[in-house]
């Protein structure tokens, strides 16, 4: 564990263990950036002109976890908690500070579901989403990139909200 409670990825491990460890590090970074703030702060768009918030990031990444892992590697229907064809950006909007704890729980459940879906898959195993085939390797690399990009946003939001900085 690093100083912020995030799991250090191993320096000598196989491909899947390395990729999933870096993804878990990014997941923990998102949670770290949200810790210690009020629900109102988490829902504050602090980097104008963007309307992005930490609460919205949690909701967005909940749907990203379900979409990429359940949608690509199972036959289960993908059920998004927030977005719909009629409201494709609902993960970012209509935030209720009183619902943050439930939204964080839903995020944790999505991460647990994603881990369960890929537990027995190998990096070269292939899934399909909307007619396009993806290896688990590709999806894990994409998810690391997705989180890293959004964690950069989270850094800026957190610094503007309370001055906290960190990697």
- The pTM (predicted TM-score) of the whole model is 0.94
How far is 156 from 106, CA to CA, in rounded Å?
A: 24
pLDDT digit string, tens, across residues 39-82: 999 999 999 999 999 999 999 999 999 999 999 999 999 999 99
Distances (CA, A) of 8 to 2, 19, 60, 154: 6, 12, 24, 20
Cis peptide before 49 (omega within 30 of 0): yes
pLDDT surpasses 90 at 25? yes
Out of 3.30.70.260, 3.10.20.600, 1.20.120.450, 3.40.50.150, which CATH number does the structure's domain 15-162 have?
1.20.120.450
pLDDT band at 134 (very low <50, low <70, confident <90, very high): very high
Query: For residue 67, what pLDDT is reported?
Result: 96
Domain boundaries, the chain: 15-162
């Amino acid at each position: 564990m690093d100083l912020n409670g995030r799991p250090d990825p191993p320096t000598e491990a196989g491909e899947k263990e390395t990729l999933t460890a870096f993804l878990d590090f990014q997941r923990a970074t998102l949670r770290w950036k949200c810790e210690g703030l009020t629900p109102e702060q988490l829902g504050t768009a602090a980097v104008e002109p963007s309307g992005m918030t930490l609460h919205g990031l949690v909701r967005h990444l909940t749907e990203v976890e379900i979409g990429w892992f359940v949608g690509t590697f199972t036959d289960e229907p993908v059920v998004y908690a927030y977005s719909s064809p009629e409201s494709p950006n609902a993960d970012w909007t209509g935030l209720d500070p009183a619902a943050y704890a439930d939204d964080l729980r839903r995020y944790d459940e999505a991460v647990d579901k994603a881990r369960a879906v890929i537990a027995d898959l190998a990096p070269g195993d292939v899934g399909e989403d909307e007619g396009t085939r993806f290896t688990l390797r590709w999806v894990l690399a994409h998810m690391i990139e997705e989180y890293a990009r959004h964690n950069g946003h989270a850094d800026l939001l957190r610094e503007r909200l309370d001055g906290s900085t960190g990697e």
